[in-house]
């Protein structure tokens, strides 16, 4: 059942993300992605009360004899049969809502279905990967999100060990998760408020760098509140990276390829998270052996290094989290090189945009329309219509001056 659930999730998620540009104006993509993240994660506080209500209702239904085939009285560990039925019903309600309410604008790309079969599917996959590799923005977003999650996801298996060994209380891990969630919420809210003033690519990469530094600094703290503050900062930057990454993919891909691009991204993300969950504890155990053999233990038996008057504990879990932060920084650097991004120019561009009274459209650097072409587009699509989709060209066209190319790179 879990395998089938993942299969259907991988069919649903790319289609959901790919259809968003057909439902909302392009200038609202960041707001739509922020709302999607809020709907996915910020409803979690409601789960506690809902679980309590479902458990009470399940216990009441367990005493009804004619409902025996539904297994309300079955031994499912900490789970309840009614919770599974409720979850399944929520999927059905979501499907009905999408079926009745979601009607993407535009028309089908082709009037007739093309040839099917394994060969056609392989061609589609190949075209998608070719576009990912050839387009600098799409390649940078995939590298930044997938590889960055490989480092960031180490916080899940290593967080409880860090809270126990370094902070001194394993119970604080739940508070770290709360700080992370609050940071994501604050990051989304802030981004929704100022996204019209920010260059998307520069902001995406700066937030990716900030995520790496935040994880390294959080792992370097030995008391709860400073560590929680940097975990909060990690949540702010991670939420920003997620929303802007999806917005960039939706903006810089054509309708024919968008579903395949998101399939590639979500597949890479799942693979990297799985590898992180598997390799994170192994890395912590390996570093524990190395630090134990190199450094002297302190009074608590934890390896430590003396930095002047400061004694810094270096257990394997802390070193592994440092490596996770370095992986995020490496992913941000690879993404920046893919997009031709320079940190100093990007920061200058962000500052200038924040000072400006109005935003420059994100895709203005990719589309150059003459006045005549703009008039034709307005006449064909209407004054309130979206701008045409960004052409799926791997690189920047030639013949542009160095100054104009630099302005495009940092936008």
- pLDDT of 6 strictly over 60: yes
- pLDDT of 186 strictly over 70: yes
- Interhelix angle 224-251/29-41, nearest 10 degrees: 130
The pLDDT value given to residue 209: 94
The pLDDT value given to residue 369: 32
Q: Rounded mean pLDDT of 304-323?
A: 89
The pLDDT value given to residue 105: 59
Burial 272-305 (b: 16+ CB within 10 A, else e): bbeebeebbbebbeebbeebbeebeeeeeebbbe
- pLDDT of 133 strictly over 90: no
The pLDDT value given to residue 373: 35
**Contact by Cβ (8 Å): 323, 288:** no
Question: 65-103 pLDDT, tens per residue?
Answer: 777 777 776 665 555 778 888 888 988 998 888 888 766
Candidate from 165-174, 198-207, 226-235, 369-378 with smallest mean pLDDT: 369-378
Q: Rounded mean pLDDT of 317-321?
A: 95
The pLDDT value given to residue 282: 95
Question: 154-173 pLDDT, tens per residue?
Answer: 988 999 999 998 998 888 88
Q: Where do the structural domains in the chain lie, given as residue ranges?
A: 2-43+138-355
Q: Is the dihedral of CA 346, 348, 349, 354 positive or negative?
A: positive
> What is the pLDDT of the chain when averaged over all its residues?
78
Task: For the chain, give the percent of residues with pLDDT over 70.
Answer: 77
- For residue 322, the tally of other CB atoms under 10 A from its CB is 17
**Contact by Cβ (8 Å): 170, 163:** yes
- pLDDT of 398 strictly over 60: no
- pLDDT of 215 strictly over 90: yes
Between vectors from CA 352 to CA 349 and to CA 358, what angle results, nearest 5°? 115
Is 114 or 234 the better-scoring residue by pLDDT? 234
Which of the residue ranges 6-10, 223-227, 311-315, 381-385 has the most confident prediction, judged by mean pLDDT?
223-227
The pLDDT value given to residue 73: 67
The pLDDT value given to residue 48: 63
Question: 262-276 pLDDT, tens per residue?
Answer: 888 888 888 999 999
Q: Rounded mean pLDDT of 46-69?
A: 76
The pLDDT value given to residue 214: 96
The pLDDT value given to residue 236: 93
Topology given in CATH for the domain delimited by 2-43+138-355: Growth Hormone; Chain: A; (1.20.1250)
- pLDDT of 203 strictly over 80: yes
Model confidence at 318, pLDDT cuts 50, 70, 90, reads very high
Q: Rounded mean pLDDT of 317-328?
A: 95
8, 10, 11, 16 alpha-carbon torsion, rounded to 10°: 120
The pLDDT value given to residue 392: 44
């Amino acid at each position: 059942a879990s395998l089938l659930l993942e299969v259907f999730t991988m069919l649903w998620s790319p289609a959901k993300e790919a259809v968003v540009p057909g439902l909302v104006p392009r200038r609202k993509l960041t707001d739509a992605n922020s709302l999607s993240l809020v709907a996915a994660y910020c409803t979690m506080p409601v789960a506690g009360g809902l679980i309590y209500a479902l458990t009470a209702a399940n216990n009441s239904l367990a005493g009804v004899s004619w409902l025996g085939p539904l297994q309300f009285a079955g031994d499912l560990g900490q789970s309840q049969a009614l919770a599974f039925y409720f979850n399944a019903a929520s999927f059905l309600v979501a499907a009905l809502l999408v079926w009745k309410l979601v009607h993407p604008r535009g028309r089908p790309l082709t009037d007739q279905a093309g040839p099917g079969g394994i060969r056609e599917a392989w061609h589609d996959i190949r075209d998608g990967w070719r576009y990912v590799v050839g387009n600098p923005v799409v390649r940078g977003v995939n590298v930044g999100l997938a590889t960055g999650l490989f480092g960031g996801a180490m916080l899940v298996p290593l967080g409880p060990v860090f809270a126990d060994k370094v902070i001194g209380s394993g119970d604080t891990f739940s508070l770290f998760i709360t700080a992370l969630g609050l940071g994501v919420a604050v990051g989304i809210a802030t981004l929704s408020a100022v996204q019209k003033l920010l260059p998307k690519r520069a902001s995406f990469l700066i937030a990716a760098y900030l995520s790496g530094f935040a994880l390294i600094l959080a792992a370097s703290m030995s008391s709860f509140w400073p560590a929680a503050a940097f975990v909060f900062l990690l949540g702010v930057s991670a939420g920003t990276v997620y929303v802007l990454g999806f917005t960039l993919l939706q903006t810089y891909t054509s309708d024919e390829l968008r579903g395949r691009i998101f399939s590639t991204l979500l597949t890479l993300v799942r693979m990297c998270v799985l590898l992180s969950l598997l390799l994170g504890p192994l890395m912590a155990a390996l570093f524990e052996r190395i630090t134990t053999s190199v450094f002297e233990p302190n009074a608590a038996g934890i390896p430590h290094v003396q930095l002047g008057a400061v004694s810094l504990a270096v257990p394997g879990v802390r070193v592994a989290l440092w490596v996770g932060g370095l992986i995020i920084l490496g992913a941000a650097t690879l993404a920046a090189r893919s997009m031709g991004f320079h940190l100093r120019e990007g920061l200058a561009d962000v500052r200038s945009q924040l000072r400006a009274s109005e935003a420059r459209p994100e895709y203005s650097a990719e589309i150059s329309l003459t006045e005549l072409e703009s008039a034709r587009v307005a006449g064909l699509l209407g004054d309130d219509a979206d701008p045409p989709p960004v052409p799926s060209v791997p690189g920047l066209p030639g013949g542009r001056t160095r100054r104009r190319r630099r302005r495009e790179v940092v936008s």
